[in-house]
Amino acid sequence: MRIRLLIALLFLVQCSPAGLFRRGAEQGDSRKQISVHGTTRTYLLHLPASLQSGHPAPLVLMFHGGDGRAAPMPRFTGFDELADAKGFIVVYPDGLDRHWNDGRGLSKADDVGFVRALIDELEGEHLVDPKRIYATGISNGGFFSNRLACELSDKIAAIASVAATMPEVLMPACKPSRPVSVMYMQGTKDPLVPINGGTIGPQHGTAVSLQQAEEFWRVHDQTSPKPVSEDLPELVKDGTKVHRDVYGNGKDHTEVVVYTIDGGGHTWPGGTQYLPIFVVGKVTRNLQATPVIWEFFQKHSLP
């Protein structure tokens, strides 16, 4: 039992959803740099051949987890293939020291400033639709997407947070300038980000519960107080089930959508079982996160 615990702790310290696979950028992705207040920041850029000339394209910002990096994320999520099929630009930024400043003290970097500068650069170099810019991420990247919704709501049309609710310290400081559509995907057996709130991983701050995060955005967006609820079909007998709550009719056509994955872990739904189940929990095969997130993003734009 002691050896098993030691192995688990070693995995948690050294690995993350984005950091497990040691590989370079996928073919078709370009590694780019940008200087922000004298600091060189890096990102991967995927420009699909299917982009229509003269037509502004949506932009998706995909943020890796803690101790991760951008390079594995295209394969981990499948966003490149979806971008090719649907005609949107996808960018995978790198956090300094492999973390994002989501408010918990994991990083002191001006990551909000980095993202604002990155969006400005991409809008200057490519035909980006400024009303259709979105942020998504897993774990630390999901928490950071929440911070972007709080502080860059003039730029970000909607966010999707996977295996992350909101940092407890972020909630009282979150003052978005407009309503923001928000999606959560959270497992009931996530061993790192407890669905009912509490300590994140090995003493990495605290998170509010999924219910508290959902309520925060529902109140801010002035959505319907009661959701349209549905249990999704059980496509695979893998020990997980998916429940969806949709709080609609928000201000400026916003909504809050919550996927609760019964039996799901600290994972990307439909993705890779990147670490053993006893370390991170199960990957559900009853939900495919990437196309569901894109379908959600497509419904929302800045007013």
Is the Cα dihedral 115, 25, 17, 2 positive or negative? negative
**90 within domain boundaries:** yes
Residue-wise pLDDT for 150-188, tens only, equals 999 999 999 999 999 999 999 999 999 999 999 999 999
CATH code (residue 133): 3.40.50.1820
Please report the pLDDT score of residue 137 as a whole number.
98
Is the pLDDT at 6 greater than 60, yes or no?
no
d(CA 123, CA 126): 5
Q: Which tokens is 146 given?
A: 């929440």
Is the pLDDT at 13 greater than 60, yes or no?
no
Q: What is the pTM of this model?
A: 0.93
Give the rounded percent of residues in the chain with a pLDDT score beyond 90: 86
**178 within domain boundaries:** yes
Residue 163, classed as helix, strand or coil, is coil
Residue-wise pLDDT for 91-102, tens only, equals 999 999 999 999
Is the pLDDT at 66 greater than 70, yes or no?
yes
Is the pLDDT at 8 greater than 80, yes or no?
no
What residues have CB less than 8 Å from 59, skipping those under 6 apart?
88, 89, 90, 91, 119, 122, 128, 129, 132, 133, 134
**250 within domain boundaries:** yes
d(CA 246, CA 192): 25
**82 within domain boundaries:** yes
Is the pLDDT at 4 greater than 70, yes or no?
no
Secondary element (H or E) of residue 74: helix 73-77
Please report the pLDDT score of residue 28 as a whole number.
81
Is the pLDDT at 241 greater than 90, yes or no?
yes
**152 within domain boundaries:** yes
In order of 12, 64, 85, 121, the CA distances from 189 in angstroms are 16, 21, 33, 40
DSSP conformational letter for 167: B
Cβ atoms < 10 Å from Cβ of 223: 23
* DSSP code string of 169-208: TTGGG---SS--EEEEEEETT-SSS-TT-EE-TTT--EE-
The domain total for the chain is 1
Q: Average the pLDDT over 82-106 and give the result.
A: 96
Band the pLDDT of 9: cuts 50, 70, 90.
very low
**303 within domain boundaries:** no
**21 within domain boundaries:** yes
Q: Are 275 and 11 in contact (CB under 8 A)?
A: yes
**213 within domain boundaries:** yes
Domain that includes residue 204, residue range: 2-298
